[in-house]
Every structure is written in C-alpha cells, then in structure tokens.
C-alpha cells in the first residue's frame, strides 16, 4: 500500500515534464498506468477481505516520537480505494484530451496524482494523525486543482473558499482526533473505536462534535454547502473527480469509519440527521433552478451527499447497505455527467442550457451516455440509481419505530420530495440540451464534434452502472457485504434485487417519479423562482471575508501606520511594562555587594569603544556609518564573551553579527538613498529619550535579577552533561539550537523566511512600479491590478522618527 502511494507521488513529479500536450497520444494513455496499477492490485484483494479479514501494513516513521505510517485495508477502504483509482484512471485519460494543447497539462497531472495519493492515504490509514496529514493533503491539492486557471478571478475565488472552509474543518477534525486519542490512549483508529468507555467520558461530546464538524465541512453539508458550487470554476476533469467521486466523499468516509462506535449516541444521531436532511432538500431544490450544467450537477451532488450523511445517522444494517450502494451509484453516474458537461463546453463553448438544444443529432454518442447516466441519477429502473433510491427508502421505512414517533414518516416525505426534484432536474438535463428543438440561429452548435477517446471514460463508467443491477449476486458478497459490515460493525449479508414486489418503498418511489414529472412540466416558473436566491451562503461567506479584511485594514492603519521607530518603541515599552507589572507582584531582592572590582585595561577599552560606537549609531546621518558602528557594538560583545570564557557564545554572536550586517547592507542598498534628514520634532525626541532610558533601566534591572540565585533549579547542567552523548556535539549552544530546541529553531527560521518573502515583495513592488505597463504582468498583457499603480510601500522616512 505504501508502494502504491509512492508510485502516485512519483508520477506526480514525473508529470511536470513528461505529460505535455506536444507528446504523442500514447503518453496520455500512459497517465492511466499509475491509478490503473493500483486498481488492479485492489481488484486482486477482492474476495480476500470477506468477514473480519483485513490487510495491514505498518512502517515506523519516528520511533522516538511514536509516529508511524499504518495502513489498514478492510471492505470499506477497498470500496473507496476502487472508486478513487478506477474513476481516477478514467479522469486521467479524459484529461489528456480535454486539456489538449494546454501548455500546463503536465502541471495539472502533477496536482491530480498528488491528490489521488492523498485520497488513498486518507481512506487507507489507521492512524489519526496521519489521517489529518492526508486530509489536509486533499485540501491543498484540491485548492491547486480548483485554482488551476489562476488567471481568472472566479477560479481563485472558488479555490480560496474551498481551502478556507475545508482547511478550518481539518483543524476541527484534528482537535477532535487528539481529544479522542487521549481519552482512548491510542492514535490507532481501530483501537480507538474498540476502546470501551469512550462515550462515557466528559470530553466525548466535544471530541465527537469537532470530528463531525470537520466531516460536514469536507462533504459540503449545510451550512457549509456553498463552497462546492463555487468550486465548479475548476477545469471539468477536476470537477468530475473531486466533486463527484473522491474529495466530497472524504467526510462521508470519516463518518462511516466512526459509525460502528458512535452510532448509538444522541450526539451522533441528531447532527447528522438534521444537517444531512437539510442538505438533501436544499441541494435537490436549488439544482432545478440552475441553468449552468455544472452548477446543476454541483447542487445535485450536494443533495446526494446529504442523503449519505443522513443515512449514517441510523444504526441499522440496511442503512449501512444504503450508504455503500448510494456511494458507488453516485460515483458511477455523476462522474460521467460531469465529463459530458465538459465535453459540451469544450465543443460548443457554453454550458448554459438555454443556449443548448438538439445536441442528440450533433453528438449522438455523447447524448446516449448522458441520457443513460441522467436516468440513473433520476432513480429510474432498471438503473443503479434506482437501486440506491430503493435502499434509501427501505432504510427510512425500517426506522419507523415507536421510539422515533412520526420522525421517520417526516423523513420519508422529505425524501420523496427530494426524489421528485431528482427526477425533475434529471429530465431537465436530458431535455434541454439534447432533445429540445429550437431554431438553429438561437442554439449553440458544436464547433468541433468530440472524438471517441474523450467519451470513452464516461462510456465505460456508464456501462458498469448499467450492468451492476443485473449481476448483483456476484459483487454483493465480495464488495457490498464487507463494506457494509465495516460500517455496521457487524457481519452484514446483502440481498439486493431490482424487484421486491409492490413494497411501501416502491410505491413511495413511484410517487416521487410521478411528482418529478409534474415538476418537470412546471419547470419554467419554478426555475424563475429558484434562481432568485438572495440568501446565498457564498455571498454571506464573502461578506465575512470582506469584513475580516476591513478589520485588518483598520487595525493596521490604527496600530502600524506609523514610522518604524514608533513600532519599535511600542514593542520595547510593552516589554518594560511587563517587567514593571511582574515586579509589583513578585517578591525578590537584589543583593549588591559593593567593593573594588578588578578590571583590566582591555576591558576598559572595550567599554569605551562600545559607548563610542553606540553614540555614533544614534547620532550619525549616514546609514552605512550606523550599520558599521552597530556592528562594532556586536563585536565588542563577542570579545567580552571571549574574555569571560564563553567561546561558543562568541562564535554564535559573531556569526549573527556578520549575517545581520550583510543583510542590512543588501536591503538598504535597494532602498532609495537620502543624504540628510530633517531635524526631529521636540515631542519625538522626548519620546525617543524616554524609551531609551526606560529600556536601559529595564536591561540593567534584568541583569541584576539574573545575578541572584535562580527561582527554579538550573537546567544548564543537564545541557552540559547531555550535549555530547545526546546531541553528539561539543558546542553546547549549537546543540541546544539544532537538537534540544530544534522545533523552536525551526519556528524561528520559518519566521525569518516569511519576513524575507515579505521584504522581497516590498522591494519587487517598488521595482514593478517603475516598469512599463506592458511588462508588469510578465506575459505581454497590460497590468490591470490597482496595486501596481499604488504608491510604493517602500518609502523613505527619517530612521530616528
């Protein structure tokens, strides 16, 4: 399993230069190889994971930190792995033809394979921390895929929204995972789920709530559903893969994995039931009002995800079976429909159903695939979607118990209403672009009819979807039973057929189909009403983001819209204030033993030189003189360390001083030069004097406090003893920096790197301001951004002000 993961990562890097549009056709077929090989291996595991059988791999990562990479393949992970790889192979082939002649095709493949690897790691891992790593890996790679066309504002906005929502959800999931693992005493997922007494702990509701919150954000559940339609700005291969079969089902997978342990809890039942049910209705209703093919499919996906989440609220075998059937069926019809939408857009340059008509005559093969997949989406017999709808209704009828009262009947009615909208928007998808006749002058025509290779992936998935219902006796014990057993937490045997007789759920399904036909007939006035969505989650989210930016601008203007000297004065006086506050609440004495201290001429010389250098630094009008004199002060400190027997500190101080001086010279070399500065106002000079005196006293008192016996046991002895055996270095200071406090050093390096990037951006902004407009964007196009025409952020000010 680790080999499969590394294979996809290897091809992710290889794609950057190998998979280019100028390569021959076989290179596009070569892209099918990585997911295809993994799918073949997974198919070889089919039949060996029945019952309680599992396949595990364990690889130590960092034994000292108790970190390991653990993979665990059971029936649920197998089904999701097959969905990821089989549909991924089809998307890889589809991408080669969809992005034909796109110079960035290799970059898209790199992101696609990296996402595929992250998704496989997510469904295979058995470690909660690794689950978070792969979870965020899918968020980052999906951000890159959604924002692939980054020159378009819509793509950037959709990518940012998806990353923010799913990224914050990942943080919530991490917090819940840590709480749950601490309570169970293990980070192994299957050990956590089998630890008794977890639900009786006081932190369980908080841990479970955080986990559910993370899953709901990932699977676009109300009130976080808005990010999924906004992500339709992604290229169609990304939409077909991320938003029909893989990423959006990551949250469903997490809930399904947790289901055996927590399904009996009320903290589990009500959030999933309410959020899933509301999402099911919202997605189904608003899908009918969309005129963009991808937007219609996006809201249909939201509705289907709501159904899966709602089903996971119930603790029954039939609900587990319905989740498995619904997940597979949705992937098999929604993936092809997204591909068809991309093919239509590619051929006609529009996805607006008002401009599309009579495509069945212009693109017969595409139309046949689309119609079959849409009929499955509508839940009409004898397609796989019909079987998924039947198991959903059977699960709801099974939940009719005295304990739940009329709630199941309400859910059955809501599900029937949503099913009617399923039928209505599916028929709209079929009629408007493919079967509707209109005048040739008003309809969009296919500029170049699609070839068979680009239709082949969608065709193969539709064939599987059509064949599945007629051969249920074969995949049921091999695929459906193990996956359903993993969700239910007990051995499940599925008995699926297309015909069960005139059952209550069949009658309900027929009522939904009839209602859907009526809604389709009345679609025009309904769509006018539904398209008027003033309460838009994406708009509310954007207003929140704009409000955060406005708050940040106000805060920056109020606090940082001053000179650098003012900023430094605020920081230093804050430190002084903290010392004064601490001194008022601490009892400490300073025992000074006055006497004649022996002092050498060399020490007197160092003191005099440091005083002169400090005075020059403050009084000079030249930047170069100030930098040099400040360096002299640092060298004096280095010599003091040498004289008092601290050569390791002296070396560290010397390296720091040299690096600081070099960086300052390089930075000030780029900043506009000014020979003389105007005299400072009296108030500024008084403030500077006050700050200098306060900081001087602060340093003096801090040294005196440190000269007395410490409040706590000294730890320097530990570092001295363990420097060589533990850190393998004789320089204690260096060992502390790179070994004992390595994470602190890494954080400091990160801060410096971020500061360096910010400084580079400031310098580059100043350079771009002086460049001609036709060079500003780097691609020959005029600069359109307002930032390029704003005043340079690098402005010359008096350094002492």
Query: Is the model more confident about 520 or about 1?
Result: 520
pLDDT in tens, 373-423: 999 999 998 899 999 999 999 999 998 888 878 888 999 999 999 999 999
Structure confidence at residue 448 as a pLDDT band (50, 70, 90): confident
Region 247-253: mean pLDDT is 92
What local confidence, expressed as pLDDT, does residue 124 receive? 93
With 90 as the cut, is the pLDDT of residue 556 above it? no
pLDDT in tens, 464-490: 999 988 888 787 888 888 999 999 988
Token representation of residue 769: 């301001």
With 50 as the cut, is the pLDDT of residue 781 above it? no
- Taking only Cα atoms into account, the Rg of the chain, rounded to an integer number of angstroms, comes to 33
Residue 296: HSE in the Cβ half-sphere, 13 Å Cα cutoff: 28
| 301-310, 355-364, 492-501, 593-602, range with greatest mean pLDDT | 301-310
With 70 as the cut, is the pLDDT of residue 776 above it? no
Token representation of residue 229: 């339609």
Beta bridge partners of 72: 56
What local confidence, expressed as pLDDT, does residue 29 receive? 79
Token representation of residue 777: 């964007």
What local confidence, expressed as pLDDT, does residue 788 receive? 29
What local confidence, expressed as pLDDT, does residue 785 receive? 36
pLDDT in tens, 27-48: 677 888 889 999 999 998 887 8
Residues 6+ apart with CB under 8 A from 399: 314, 316, 319, 408, 411
What local confidence, expressed as pLDDT, does residue 141 receive? 93
DSSP one-letter code for 314: S
| 659-663, 667-671, 775-779, range with greatest mean pLDDT | 659-663
Region 57-75: mean pLDDT is 81
Instruction: Report the mean per-residue pLDDT for the chain.
Output: 84
Q: How far apart are CA 306 and CA 300, in angstroms?
A: 10
Question: Which of 396-405, 442-451, 654-663, 748-757 is the least confident region?
Answer: 442-451
What local confidence, expressed as pLDDT, does residue 778 receive? 39
Structure confidence at residue 20 as a pLDDT band (50, 70, 90): low
With 80 as the cut, is the pLDDT of residue 62 above it? no
Cβ count within 10 A of residue 759: 15
Token representation of residue 135: 């979870």
What local confidence, expressed as pLDDT, does residue 760 receive? 78
The proportion of the chain whose per-residue pLDDT surpasses 90, expressed as a percent, equals 36
Go through the chain and tell me how many residues it has.
801
pLDDT in tens, 106-134: 889 989 999 999 999 999 999 998 999 99
DSSP string, 652-679: HHHHHHHHHHHHHHHHHHHSPP-S--PP
With 80 as the cut, is the pLDDT of residue 799 above it? no
| H helix or E strand, kind and range, residue 62 | strand 55-62
Structure confidence at residue 245 as a pLDDT band (50, 70, 90): confident
pLDDT in tens, 311-331: 999 999 999 999 999 999 999
Query: Is the model more confident about 1 or about 187?
Result: 187
pLDDT in tens, 680-713: 788 888 888 899 899 988 888 887 777 666 666 7
With 90 as the cut, is the pLDDT of residue 739 above it? no
Region 229-243: mean pLDDT is 88
Question: Which of 221-235, 240-254, 543-557, 705-719 is the least confident region?
Answer: 705-719
Residues 6+ apart with CB under 8 A from 743: none
Ramachandran bin of 451, using left for φ above 0, alpha for ψ from -120 to 50, beta for the remaining angles: beta
What local confidence, expressed as pLDDT, does residue 642 receive? 87
Query: Is the model more confident about 120 or about 650?
Result: 120
Q: How far apart are CA 89 and CA 37, in angstroms?
A: 9
Q: How far apart are CA 290 and CA 303, in angstroms?
A: 14
Per-position b or e across 199-224, b if 16+ CB within 10 A of its CB:
beeeebeebbbbbbbbbbbbbbbbeb
Q: How far apart are CA 275 and CA 479, in angstroms?
A: 28
What local confidence, expressed as pLDDT, does residue 530 receive? 78
Cβ count within 10 A of residue 404: 14
Task: Assign 3-class secondary structure to 747-783.
Answer: HHHHHHHHHHHHHHHHHHHHHHHCCCHHHCCCCCCCC
Q: Quick check: 792 and 616 in contact, CB under 8 A?
A: no
Nearest to residue 658, comparing CAs of 684, 614, 618, 628? 628
> Beta 67-73 vs 55-62: how paired, if at all?
antiparallel
pTM, full prediction: 0.78
Question: Which of 172-176, 298-302, 606-610 is the least confident region?
Answer: 606-610
The proportion of the chain whose per-residue pLDDT surpasses 70, expressed as a percent, equals 88
What local confidence, expressed as pLDDT, does residue 722 receive? 83
| H helix or E strand, kind and range, residue 36 | helix 33-45
Beta bridge partners of 59: 69
Residues 6+ apart with CB under 8 A from 666: none
Residues 6+ apart with CB under 8 A from 172: 210, 211, 213, 214, 217
Region 502-524: mean pLDDT is 91
What local confidence, expressed as pLDDT, does residue 69 receive? 85
What local confidence, expressed as pLDDT, does residue 795 receive? 37
Token representation of residue 215: 């899953």
What local confidence, expressed as pLDDT, does residue 798 receive? 45
Region 201-224: mean pLDDT is 92
How many angstroms separate the Cα of 404 from the Cα of each of 318, 411, 462, 748? Answer: 17, 11, 39, 56
Residues 6+ apart with CB under 8 A from 5: 117, 120, 121, 124
What local confidence, expressed as pLDDT, does residue 585 receive? 67
The SS3 call for residue 57 is strand
What local confidence, expressed as pLDDT, does residue 791 receive? 34
With 90 as the cut, is the pLDDT of residue 177 above it? yes
What local confidence, expressed as pLDDT, does residue 775 receive? 43
Q: Quick check: 131 and 214 in contact, CB under 8 A?
A: no
What local confidence, expressed as pLDDT, does residue 770 receive? 57
With 50 as the cut, is the pLDDT of residue 783 above it? no
DSSP string, 99-112: TTT-TTHHHHHHHH
């Amino acid at each position: 399993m680790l080999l499969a993961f590394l294979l996809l990562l290897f091809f992710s890097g290889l794609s950057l230069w190998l998979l280019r549009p100028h390569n021959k056709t076989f290179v596009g077929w070569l892209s099918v190889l990585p997911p295809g090989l993994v799918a073949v291996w997974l198919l070889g595991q089919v039949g060996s994971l029945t019952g309680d059988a599992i396949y595990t791999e364990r690889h130590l990562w960092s034994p000292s930190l108790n970190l390991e990479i653990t993979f665990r393949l059971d029936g649920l992970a197998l089904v999701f792995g097959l969905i990821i790889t089989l549909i991924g192979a089809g998307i890889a082939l589809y991408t080669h033809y969809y992005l034909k002649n796109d110079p960035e095709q290799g970059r898209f493949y790199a992101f696609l394979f990296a996402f595929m690897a992250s998704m496989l790691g997510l469904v295979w891992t058995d470690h909660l921390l690794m689950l978070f790593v792969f979870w965020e890996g899918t968020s980052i790679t999906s951000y890159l895929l959604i924002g692939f066309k980054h020159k378009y504002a819509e793509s950037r906005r959709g990518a940012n929204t998806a990353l923010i929502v799913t990224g914050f959800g990942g943080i919530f999931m991490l917090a819940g995972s840590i709480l749950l693992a601490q309570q169970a005493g293990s980070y192994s997922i299957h050990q956590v789920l089998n630890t008794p007494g977890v639900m009786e702990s006081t932190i369980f509701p908080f841990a479970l709530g955080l986990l559910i919150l993370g899953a709901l954000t990932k699977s676009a559940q109300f009130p976080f559903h808005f990010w999924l339609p906004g992500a339709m700005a992604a290229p169609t291969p990304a939409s077909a893969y991320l938003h029909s079969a893989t990423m959006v089902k990551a949250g469903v997978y997490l809930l399904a994995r947790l289901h055996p342990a927590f399904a009996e809890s009320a903290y589990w039942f009500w959030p999933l039931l309410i959020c899933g049910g509301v999402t099911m209705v919202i997605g189904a209703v608003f899908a009918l009002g969309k005129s963009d093919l991808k937007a219609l499919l996006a809201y249909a996906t939201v509705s289907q995800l709501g159904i899966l989440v709602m089903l996971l609220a119930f603790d029954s075998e039939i609900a587990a079976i319905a989740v498995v059937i619904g997940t597979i069926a949705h992937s098999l019809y929604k993936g092809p429909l997204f591909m068809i939408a991309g093919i239509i857009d590619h051929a006609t340059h529009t996805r607006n159903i008002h401009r599309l008509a009579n495509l069945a005559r212009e693109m017969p093969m595409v139309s046949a695939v689309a119609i079959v997949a849409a009929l499955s989406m509508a839940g009409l017999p004898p397609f796989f979607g019909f079987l998924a709808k039947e198991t959903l209704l059977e699960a709801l009828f099974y939940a009719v118990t005295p304990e739940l009262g009329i709630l199941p009947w309400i859910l059955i009615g809501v599900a029937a209403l949503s099913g009617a909208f399923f039928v209505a928007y599916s028929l709209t998808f079929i009629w408007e672009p493919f079967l509707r006749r209109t005048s040739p002058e008003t309809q969009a025509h296919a500029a170049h009819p699609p070839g068979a290779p680009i239709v082949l992936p969608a065709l193969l998935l539709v064939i599987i979807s059509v064949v599945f219902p007629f051969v249920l006796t074969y995949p049921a014990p091999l695929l459906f039973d193990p996956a359903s057993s993993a969700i239910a937490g007990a051995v499940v045997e599925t008995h699926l057929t297309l015909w069960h007789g005139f059952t209550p759920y069949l009658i309900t399904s027929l009522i939904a189909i009839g209602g859907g036909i009526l809604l389709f007939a009345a679609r025009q006035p309904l769509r006018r009403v539904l398209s008027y969505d003033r309460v838009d989650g994406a708009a509310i989210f954007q207003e929140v983001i704009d409000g955060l930016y406005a708050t940040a601008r106000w805060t920056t203007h109020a606090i940082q819209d001053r000179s650098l000297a003012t900023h430094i004065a605020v920081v230093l006086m804050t430190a002084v204030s903290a010392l004064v506050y601490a001194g008022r609440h601490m009892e400490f004495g300073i025992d000074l033993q006055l006497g004649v201290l022996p002092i050498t001429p060399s020490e007197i010389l160092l003191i005099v030189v440091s005083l002169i250098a400090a005075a020059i630094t403050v009084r000079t009008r030249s930047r170069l003189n100030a930098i040099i004199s400040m360096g002299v002060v640092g060298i004096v400190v280095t010599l003091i360390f040498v004289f008092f027997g601290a050569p390791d500190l002296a070396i560290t101080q010397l390296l720091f001083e040299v690096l600081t001086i070099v960086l300052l010279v390089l930075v000030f070399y780029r900043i506009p030069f000014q020979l003389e500065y105007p005299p400072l106002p009296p108030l500024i000079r008084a403030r500077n004097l006050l700050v200098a005196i306060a900081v001087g006293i602060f340093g003096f008192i801090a040294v005196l406090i440190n000269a007395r016996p410490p409040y706590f046991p000294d730890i320097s002895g530990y570092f001295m003893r363990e420097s060589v055996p533990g850190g393998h270095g004789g320089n204690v200071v260096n060992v502390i920096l790179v070994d004992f406090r390595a994470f602190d050093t890494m954080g400091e390096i990160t801060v410096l790197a971020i500061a360096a990037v910010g400084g580079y951006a400031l310098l580059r902004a100043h350079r771009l301001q002086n460049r001609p407009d036709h060079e500003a964007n780097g691609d020959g196009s005029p600069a359109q951004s307002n930032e390029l025409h704003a005043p340079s952020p690098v402005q010359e000010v008096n350094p002492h002000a």
